[in-house]
Amino acid sequence: MSNFRRMLQITRVDLSYFFRTKWLIGTLIGLNMTDMLVVGLVYKGMMPAVVEGNLNYFQFYAPGVIITGLFFASFDVGRRVHLGLTEGVSQYYLTLPVSLNEVVYAHLLSAGLGGAIYAGVLTVIAAALVPQLVSLSTLALVPFMFVLSMGLAGIAAVLNLFSKSGDRYFTFADGIQTVMVSLSTIAYPISIIGKYLPNSVVMLVELNPLSQGAEALRAIVNGGPSSPAFTIPSLLITSLVLLVVGVVSYRHVFTKLREVGKI
C-alpha cells in the first residue's frame, strides 16, 4: 500500500468519526435549520426598518447559517486531533509507514471534506426555502468551500499548538468560535456593522473568512455580495493563508509528539 493510500485511509477514519453518530448529525442539522427559520423569519420583518434598500433578511441569513455549519464541522477536526493526542491515537498514526506531513495533510483533508459535506447537506435543505441556491454557481463554489473548510481547520491547529493537554482546547475553541461568528456578516450586513463599530473592527469583519464565505453564497442568492470587499479571490487567499498556518502548526505539534511522546 502506497503512502498516499495510507494517508487517504487515515483521512477516511478521521472523517468517519464525525459522521459516525447519525443521530447527532441529524440533531445538529435540525438545530441549524431551526435557527435559520426562527431567526430568519423573525428578523425578516425587523431589518428593513434599519437597513437601507430592499433586504430580504431570510435570504440574507440562510447563507450565513450554511457557513456557520461549515465552520463548526471543519473545526471539529481540531477536537478529534486533541482527543487523539491525549488518548494515544496520534502516537499510533506516527508509528505507521507514513510521513509526518501525510498525517498532517490527512487531518486537514478530513476537515475540508467534513465541512464541505456538512455545508452541502445544509445547502440542499435550504434550497427548498431559497430556490436561488439551486444553481450551477453553487456547484462551482463547492471547491472554494472545501478550501475554506481546510483553512478554518488551520485555526483549530493553532489551538492544538497552544492548548497542550487537558480541557483548555475546548475553552479556547468555544471562545474563538464565539468571536469569529460574532465579528462576521453571518447575522448582520456590513453596512449595519459599520454604523456601530470602528473602522478597524469593520476591516477585521471583512477579512473574517466566515464573512467571505457567507458573501460568496449571497452573491449567488442575490446576484452580488453586499460589499465589493468580498470576492472569490479574497476568500481563496484567506483560506490558503489559514491552511498554511494549519500545516505549520500541526507539523510542530506532531514533531514534538514524535520526539517527546506527549504534548
Residues 183-213 have pLDDT tens digits of 999 988 888 888 888 989 999 998 899 999 9
Task: Give the C-alpha separation, 194 to 184, whole Å.
Answer: 12
Task: Give the C-alpha separation, 132 to 211, whole Å.
Answer: 19
Comparison of pLDDT for 262 and 30, the residue scoring more: 30
The total number of structural domains in the chain stands at: 1
Comparison of pLDDT for 62 and 39, the residue scoring more: 62
Task: Give the C-alpha separation, 196 to 181, whole Å.
Answer: 17
Domain encompassing residue 206 = 3-260
Residue 46 confidence (pLDDT) above 80: no
Task: Give the C-alpha separation, 20 to 153, whole Å.
Answer: 19
Cell of 251: 507539523
User: Percent of the chain having pLDDT more than 90?
Assistant: 20
Residue with cell 472523517: 15
What is the band of 166 on the pLDDT scale with cuts at 50, 70, 90?
low
Task: Give the C-alpha separation, 107 to 113, whole Å.
Answer: 10
What is the structure's pLDDT at 109? 92
Average the pLDDT over 72-77 and give the result.
87
What is the band of 226 on the pLDDT scale with cuts at 50, 70, 90?
low
Local structure of 20: helix, strand or coil: coil
What is the structure's pLDDT at 100? 87
pTM higher than the cut 0.85: yes
DSSP 187: S
